[in-house]
Every structure is written in C-alpha cells, then in structure tokens.
Structure 1
Amino acid sequence: MLCATYNIQYCKGKDGRYDIDRIVAELGDADLIALQEVETHVARSGDVNQATEIAARLPHLFWAFGPGIDADASEMVDGRVINKRRQFGNMILSRWPLLSVTNHPLPKTALAGLVHSRRALIEAVIDTPLGPIRFASVHFDHIGPSTRLPQVAFARELLLNGPRHGASWGGPFDDGWFDRPAPPMPEPVILMGDFNFTPDSAEYDLMLGAKSQHHGRVHDAHGLADAWVAAGHAEDEGVTIVHAGGAERIDHCFASHELAARVGEAWVDMVAQGSDHQPVFFRFTA
C-alpha cells in the first residue's frame, strides 16, 4: 500500500506556474494520498475548484476535501446567485471507499499583525488491505510553537482516542436515513501532512515522546511512530522543503506502532517541481 503526502501550494510550482496536471503526475500511482493547501475559487489559481479538478484527473480514487478557510466567493448573474465558496484546506484520496469522513477545525488564537488562518485536520475511515484504519491529512500552523503546540495536542488526543469518541453514527436507527451499517472506528491510524515542525522541535516531542539521555526517543506503546524512521532513516535525515532559511524535513507520516512496523520504504521525490514542498512516499507491506 503506497501512501503519499504533498503540500501542493495551490498547484503553484517552483517556476511560478499553476499546473494541476503536474501535481497529479507527481503523485504517481499512490493508493492513499494526503494533500494540503488545496484551494477553490481563488483568482490567483484560475478561479477553479482545485479539489474537484484533482479528483477528475484521478477517477479511480475516492476523495474528500476539508477546508480550514471557507468564505463567500459567489457571483450574481442576471439576478441569480451563482454560489461559490473560496476555500483553503486539505484533501484525502483513496483507492478504497471512504466509509466516513470528519473535518476537524484545529485550535486557533487571533494574532496581531501576522498572516494567520484557520487550520484543519480531515480524517477518513478506510477499509484497506491492512484492515480498517483511520487516515488523516493535516496542515499545522506556520507561525511557531505557541500556535502549533495546542494543535498538536488536539490532534494527538483526537487520533489516539478515536474509539472512545466513537464513529460518526451508531445505534438502532429505523427512519431509513442510516440504511447502511455504522462505520467502524478502528484504533490504527496514519496521519500525514505538512506539520511545519522539524524532528528537533517541542512539537515533535509532544507528538511522539521526548528523548531520554540514556534511552533515546521514548515512545508511548499506545502512541505514534515516525514512519520515516521506521523505514530506516535517521530523524535528522531527509529534506521535504528548501527555502531561504535552509532545507528541512517538515512533511511527515506518523502512524500507530503496528502500522509503522509495516513500513518497508520511504522516500522524498526531490525532482518534483509542482510546489515549494516535495511529495513524500511511504510503502506499507501486508
């Protein structure tokens, strides 16, 4: 099972061109895809719905889009409202049906004089060849630890306690609307996305567990593991974005320990040109 995460920067490539086809080509034949910075009806990217345009180019995949920002972009034409939403958020695509989907807004604090926006985490329940899992795409805040740490704490609690929160619905409904079985709420989880933090950060420690002087990284047995490290890489190895401040690994895949143990390989496509980030791939084996 091949999983990919890619912050597509609203399809704006390193050459300044907006190119949806290029983004789709760089995703290859991944089975599960987590995208970030997908936007709809914004003039800079052609006033298109990028979520539906990406999905149209991958007709063999099921999909869902979860905006963090959702604003009016409607037009009035001949006295009739053409309803459009200007949105910015995350997307999931899957070779297998999305049995249920929930878009979770992340904690946010208003800031003075800084570009800042609502962030979200979209989570889907999917019955994969590895069994039922929860697969999530997230984009944490870019400002710093003060804005990210509450988001990391929220996401970690949400994902690790999924079964306690329960599925989207349940119980003996008999009104005809819930004419399918309630979806499962499995414990195994894969979280992918642009985390905006590096492995030497407080956020990384909070997500996985801090380092011990004598024992290295101390993981909660019921917590998450870094799939990149599970594939045999060092924490400080790898680059997923190059910018004026340097080169960093900030695009991650965290997984339940039982799933992380199935990661056979992980790599970054350093050739891709479709965004300011690079797509990252993880192959899970049965």
Structure 2
Amino acid sequence: MKIVSYNIQYGLGQDGRYDLERIAETVRDADIICLQEVERYWQRSGMVDQVALLGAALPEFHLVYGANVDMDASYRDGAGRLVRRRQQFGNMVLSRYPITTSRNFPLPKRGLIHQHSVQKGLLEAVVDAPGGALRIYCTHLCHLCPETRLPQIERIKEIIGNAVAEGAAWNGAHPDDTAGWIERPAHPMPEAFFLAGDMNCTADSAEYAALVGPYAPGFGRLVTPAGYVDAWVAAGQQEREGDTRSGRKIDHLFCTAPLSEAIQSAWIDTASIGSDHQPLFVQIQPR
C-alpha cells in the first residue's frame, strides 16, 4: 500500500500554471492520498471547485474534504435566483478503499492583526484497508512560528489519542430506532493510524520533538507516550535528509509503532513541479 502527502498549493505549479490534472497524475499510483491547500471558488485559481475536479480526475478513489476556511461565495444569476456557493480552503483525503467515516476538527488559531493567520484543521478518515482498518489524518499546521504550531500539535495528539475511546462518527445503541438511526452497523475506530501533512517544521524543531520525542545523544529519539514514529526514519532515511520545500523537509508522515515495522520505503518526488512543495510517498507492506 502506498500513501502520499502533498501540499498542492491550490494547483499552482513552479511554472506559474494552475493545473489540477498534473496534480492528479503525480499521485495517481498511490492508494491513499492526503492533500493540503485544496480550495473551492477562489478567484486566483479560476473560481472552480477543486474538490470536484480532483475527484473527477481520480474517479476510482473515495474522497472526503475538510474545509477549514469557509466563507460565503453565493451570487444571483441573471434571473435573480440565488446560486449557493461556499469559498473554502482545506484538506482532502482520497482512498482506493472505502472511507467508512470521517470527521473534521478545527485546530487552535491566534487572531493576529499584522500577520496572515489562517484557520487550520485536522481531517480524519477511517479507511477500510486490506488487512484491517486504518485511521488517516491529514493536516496543515500554521506557517508563522513554533508558538502557533505547538498548541496545534498538542490538540492533534489529544484528538488522535481520544479517538478509539470516543468511537467513530456514530456508535452505540439508539433507544428508539424508528427514527432510522441504525441503518448499518457502527464502524469500530482502529488503533492504527497515519498522520500526514505540511507541518511547517523540520526534524530539529520543538514541534517535531513534541510528536516523536526528544533526541538523546547516544540513544536516538525517546519516543513519546503517544507512540508517533516518523515513517521517513522507519524507512531507513536520516531525520534531516530530504527537501520538500525550499531546501527543507517540512512535510511529514507519522504512524504508530506497529505500522512503522511494515514500512518498506519512503521517497520524495523531486521531479514534480505541480506545487511549491514536493510530494512525500511511503510504501508499506500489507498487514
């Protein structure tokens, strides 16, 4: 199974062209695709629904979208009829396997006056993958500074850590099923997960240490109680190796320790020019 994380910069490539077909071709061979900076109805990208266009370009994939920026973009047509439309910006997960349930969580945000501050979120998708269900999390942390990202990481750890106990989007018996709530069995929330995204931080940062544990000379990483493992390192790469944007590796894929043992390889597609980021791929053997 192949997983990819890719900040697509709303389809704007290094050549100055907007090209979602190029994005789709870059990730088509993956089984699970985690995209950041996917938008709907922005003037800069041609007032198109990028979720619909990417879905049409990848018709064999199930998909969910989590809008974190959500503003009115409705208008009146020539006859005066209201055309409902939302201007949105967020994360997207596509999967060859069914996405049984999904939730989207807002992350902490600071209201700033002189710097651009954008609402960020964590998109959860429970995937019915071969060998057992997986939780897939897709996120994009704040670009400003560690002080804005560290609270977001703590919230992510809380969400992921509570997920199994909370259950999926719905669970439990309903006292009166005449309302039609119990149309299908509740899906269990699996222990195994991947966390993918543009973390806007490198392996020598406090944010990275908050996820995988502090570095102890002579011992390596002291894994946090939450048990996050960097899939890049599990594949045999060095923490500080790689470049996903402007000479730094700020895009990451983390997973649980049992999943890390199944990782076969990890690589960065350095030839792709579809965004200002390079996509990060991880190959794992079926469980």
Preserved contact between residue 160 and residue 187 of structure 1 (Cα < 8 Å): no
Partner of 2:80: 79
What is the one-letter code of the residue matched to 1:176? Answer: G
Deviation at 1:157, TM superposition (A): 1.7
* TM-score with structure 1 setting the length: 0.96
Aligned partners of 2:264 and 2:80: how far apart in 1?
58
Preserved contact between residue 125 and residue 184 of structure 1 (Cα < 8 Å): no
Deviation at 1:89, TM superposition (A): 0.4
Match of 2:240 among 226, 236, 240: 236
Match of 2:189 among 182, 185, 190: 185
Can you list the C-alpha shifts for 1:105-132, whole angstroms capped at 9, x where unaligned? Answer: 1011111200111001100111111411
My pick for the range that moved more, 10-19 or 76-85, is: 76-85
Calculate the aligned-residue CA RMSD, in Å: 1.0
Partner of 2:154: 153
Aligned partners of 2:225 and 2:146: how far apart in 1?
25
Preserved contact between residue 211 and residue 224 of structure 2 (Cα < 8 Å): no
- In the alignment, does 2:272 pair up with 1:272? yes
Aligned partners of 2:132 and 2:30: how far apart in 1?
17
Preserved contact between residue 222 and residue 257 of structure 1 (Cα < 8 Å): no
Q: Which runs of 5+ in 2 are unaligned?
A: none
Preserved contact between residue 5 and residue 196 of structure 2 (Cα < 8 Å): yes
Aligned partners of 2:168 and 2:33: how far apart in 1?
22
Partner of 1:140: 141
Preserved contact between residue 26 and residue 272 of structure 2 (Cα < 8 Å): yes
Partner of 2:248: 248
What is the one-letter code of the residue matched to 1:30? Answer: A
User: Would you identify which runs of 4 or more consecutive aligned residues in structure 1 move more than 4 Å?
Assistant: none
Q: What pairs up with 1:36-55 in 2 under 5 angstroms?
A: 36-55=36-55
Deviation at 1:221, TM superposition (A): 5.7
Aligned partners of 1:131 and 1:192: how far apart in 2?
19
Aligned partners of 1:264 and 1:48: how far apart in 2?
38
Preserved contact between residue 221 and residue 257 of structure 1 (Cα < 8 Å): no
Higher fraction of strand: 1
Deviation at 1:222, TM superposition (A): 4.5
Percent identity between the two aligned chains: 45
- In the alignment, does 2:221 pair up with 1:220? no
Partner of 1:262: 262
Q: Which runs of 5+ in 1 are unaligned?
A: none
Preserved contact between residue 106 and residue 122 of structure 2 (Cα < 8 Å): yes
* TM-score with structure 2 setting the length: 0.96
What is the one-letter code of the residue matched to 1:56? Answer: A
Can you list the C-alpha shifts for 1:54-105, whole angstroms capped at 9, x where unaligned? Answer: 0111110000110110000111112211011100000000011111000111
What is the one-letter code of the residue matched to 2:111? Answer: A
